[in-house]
């Protein structure tokens, strides 16, 4: 099911044709269109496009996929989607503005679904956790992948990568083995380990990863559930370009990983799933 917010209110839910077996991943293509993808029940990638308020009939790109996809804008009009494949690696397909490419494979040893984000500098950066719980990152640019870099760490769940909307900078977050949230930042330079910071803690004591969004260039908001013994409350941490504010309670109760997105006003909207399995939202900071 899909819905559209027109800047003032939500429309009505619409059912798209075809059955899926994963969470969806939605992204803008930078030219006013939105692409939403999920794994079809036969393992193909199923994608629908929203153009001028109208959803296209979903198309299927042949594949054998084993994780939810992660899709991101590569360049204006282009979208890259990545998912786990049947061999424990990753598979990817690129929409070039006209058609989707056949899926190609990236050899690695992944146990998590990938998290991909535009770097707002002509590339897409993806992270995945390996079978040894380390974090691998790779960048797609100029028509190809630049190679996996191992950031180390001991992570669980799924990564969360966000563009800083500043000179190609990207930050990836992980839930650590001790249940804290840690982040590693790419400085937008050459694709080497030296251009990534090591993991550093932003706090928290959680059962799932943070959900983060860029509220303005070089600024972030991250939401989690629970700090210390307060395991169900929603907390937020704000990065102002120089330092983190520290997690503070926003109120409400929920579970899982929040999903946050920028509003273009210096604020973000975060959607959470409550204990009654209903979605609620909050705007801040």
pLDDT tens per residue, range 202-211: 876 666 677 8
Domains in the chain: boundaries: 25-220+236-252
> Which secondary structure element, helix H or strand E, spans residue 209, and what is its range?
none
pTM of the shown model: 0.90
CA of 81: how far to CAs of 48, 67, 125, 210, 233, in Å? Answer: 13, 12, 11, 22, 33
> What's the CATH number for 25-220+236-252?
2.120.10.70
Partners of 284 in the beta sheet?
Answer: 268
Share above pLDDT 90 across residues of the chain, in percent, rounded to a whole number = 45
Q: How far apart are CA 31 and CA 211, in angstroms?
A: 25
- CA 96 to chain centroid, in Å, comes to 21
Does residue 229 carry a pLDDT above 60?
no
User: With 90 as the cut, is the pLDDT of residue 145 above it?
Assistant: yes
175: tokens are 């839930």
């Amino acid at each position: 099911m899909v819905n559209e917010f027109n800047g003032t209110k939500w429309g009505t839910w619409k059912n798209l044709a075809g059955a899926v077996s994963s969470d969806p991943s939605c992204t803008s293509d930078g030219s006013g269109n939105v692409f939403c993808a999920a794994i079809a029940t036969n393992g193909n990638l199923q994608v629908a496009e929203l153009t001028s308020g109208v959803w296209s009939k979903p198309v299927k790109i042949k594949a054998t996929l084993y994780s939810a996809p992660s899709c991101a804008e590569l360049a204006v009009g282009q979208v890259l989607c990545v998912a786990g494949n049947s061999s424990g690696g990753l598979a990817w397909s690129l929409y070039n503005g006209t058609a989707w490419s056949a899926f190609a494979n990236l050899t690695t040893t992944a146990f998590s679904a990938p998290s991909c984000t535009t770097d707002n500098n002509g590339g897409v950066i993806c992270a995945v956790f390996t079978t040894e719980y380390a974090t691998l990152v790779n960048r797609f640019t100029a028509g190809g992948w630049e190679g996996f870099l191992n950031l180390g760490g001991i992570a669980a769940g799924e990564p969360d990568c966000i563009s800083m909307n500043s000179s190609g900078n990207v930050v990836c977050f992980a839930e650590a083995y001790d249940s804290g949230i840690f982040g590693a930042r790419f400085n937008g330079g050459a694709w080497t380990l030296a251009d990534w910071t090591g993991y550093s803690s932003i706090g928290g004591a959680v059962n799932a990863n943070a959900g983060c969004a860029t509220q303005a260039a070089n600024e972030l908001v991250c939401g989690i559930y629970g700090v210390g013994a307060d395991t169900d409350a929603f907390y937020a941490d704000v990065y102002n370009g120089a330092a983190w504010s520290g997690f503070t309670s926003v109120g409400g109760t929920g579970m899982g990983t929040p999903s946050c997105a920028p509003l273009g006003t210096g604020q973000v909207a975060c959607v959470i799933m409550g204990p009654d399995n209903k979605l609620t939202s909050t705007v801040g900071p």
